Structure 1
């Protein structure tokens, strides 16, 4: 089963899924770091979600964890209003998205673990951007987000990462790992496996940003780890043609069963916020490109429907 904000759904109910999005983001510390990290207008995000649904979209993973702009009530309302499955995330993001006085810096490993587990089993905390977790809603998270963006964040205690590992092992929900490089992807995978996290519970995000060390892509996928390619339509990194070539290479290596895709949306990439892509981009532009590169409907269905249902299911 997959845990959405409106409850559990079976694998065959999840449907066509974007495996990494940001549907809502409150104005706060992330927007101070980058103004495009603000998606707080309900009607605009709803219009974008309806656009996604109009081209066959049925589910998305919202990758914003607590304490840095997650909008829990909006996620549940949007899912109900649009009839789209939405999976919310607990966990933590890059430390730049929390000011120096934020509670996440001072909480212990055990406190963090208990918070993550409660969000997965009882209900998410609200109003945690400026105050420690206290008030809850009934909507539950179904994914554990972690972020490894600098060597400094991956500190000697690694308390945030250990807390996420404990939450995964106790609840069976997957861990989604933000990384900044292919090497970091391997580092974080090895760390979690040493903690006892099964490889099939790991999803490594942004593995397509640099398109280097492709041998590590194969190695991680062969371990049973899911690789998330979510730099589609982000041309400052590379072209969509290069992205397609990467996916074809993985398919030819017999590893398409470990691939997930998404847009990792921001204000700059949502049409209804004035952006240049829109949540219909994968269906309308990228999938036709994949077909031009020789991928058939069966492989595309595997990547967009079957794999997300497996990756985000409770183990």
Structure 2
């Protein structure tokens, strides 16, 4: 079963629930294209408080037949209003919130007839370890220990991954429960190999975004066929990429 990583519900001007529901009605969207290409599941990486809407995710799943896995946790501070509740909570209270959404229901759906619960924790590292909210890192570690869930972590171009990994190891989190995102923006094969040997998973995604020059980034950590990683104009990225990039990975492994 193919799984695609995305963060789809960030609020922008002219968006929101009504706009998203219109898009579901009038367009096959990424989910429909993903299903048509053989994908069975998608992971939505937008946590509560900064754009997540569990009801819309459930509607997308029902409309397309694609399993959509929601998350709890926290994103970068800049995506929240100035006095967001999450930043006022203690580590213990934030951990309770994460566990509640992982085992019970997302807050926005808990009173619905068919509540939606989170399937993993999404967290975000700022530009340095020191700038990342320590109490929320502690909360994520506690929720992971309590539930065994996976923690997927946004990184700023792979910055401070070593420090975040060490933090979670010190917090008694199994590295095999960790996914570090966007690390292909730090194209150092030896560094990636060392991280992978700890059991942590590394997420690469620059090949979907031409501004990051995937021919330079992905080649350094996956294979030498630069043409494989080039952006394909006028072709839907997810389903075409799923066929193109799997083939490239297989050739790189040979």
TM-score band (shorter)?
A: 0.7 to 0.9
Residues 146 and 176, structure 1, Cα contact 8 Å, conserved in 2: yes
1:194: Cα distance to partner?
Answer: 0.6
Residues 24 and 38, structure 1, Cα contact 8 Å, conserved in 2: no
SS of equivalent to 2:212: coil
Partner of 2:23: 44
Structure 2 Cα separation of the partners of residues 59 and 124 of structure 1: 19
Partner of 2:176: 200
Q: 1:238 to 1:67 in 2, by over 3 A?
A: same
Partner of 2:9: 24
1:197: Cα distance to partner?
Answer: 0.4
Which of residues 194, 201, 211 in structure 2 aligns to 1:226? 201
1:238: Cα distance to partner?
Answer: 1.9
Structure 2 Cα separation of the partners of residues 71 and 244 of structure 1: 36
Count the aligned residue pairs: 242
Partner of 2:124: 147
Structure 2 Cα separation of the partners of residues 67 and 290 of structure 1: 36
Structure 1 Cα separation of the partners of residues 21 and 207 of structure 2: 25
1:24: Cα distance to partner?
Answer: 3.2
Residues 43 and 70, structure 2, Cα contact 8 Å, conserved in 1: yes
The structure whose RCO (Cα within 8 Å, separation 6+) is larger is 1
Matched, 1:246 2:221: yes
TM-score by length of 1: 0.68
Residues 124 and 155, structure 2, Cα contact 8 Å, conserved in 1: yes
Q: Deviations over 1:215-243 (max 9, x none)?
A: 22111100100001122221221224742
Matched, 1:186 2:157: no
Gaps of 5+ in 1: 1-14, 128-133, 250-268, 297-315
1:181: Cα distance to partner?
Answer: 3.4
Partner of 1:299: none
Matched, 1:282 2:203: no
Structure 2 Cα separation of the partners of residues 228 and 236 of structure 1: 18
Structure 2 Cα separation of the partners of residues 295 and 37 of structure 1: 42
Structure 1 Cα separation of the partners of residues 18 and 123 of structure 2: 21
Structure 1 Cα separation of the partners of residues 240 and 15 of structure 2: 18
Q: 1:239 to 1:113 in 2, by over 3 A?
A: same
Gaps of 5+ in 2: 225-230
Alpha-carbon RMSD across the aligned residues, in angstroms, is 3.0
Residues 2-21 of structure 1 mapped to structure 2, 5 A cutoff: 15-18=1-4, 20-21=5-6
TM-score by length of 2: 0.84
SS of equivalent to 2:213: coil
Structure 2 Cα separation of the partners of residues 111 and 200 of structure 1: 25
Structure 1 Cα separation of the partners of residues 236 and 185 of structure 2: 18
Structure 2 Cα separation of the partners of residues 40 and 99 of structure 1: 21
Residues 116 and 167, structure 1, Cα contact 8 Å, conserved in 2: yes
Matched, 1:59 2:41: yes
1:159: Cα distance to partner?
Answer: 0.2
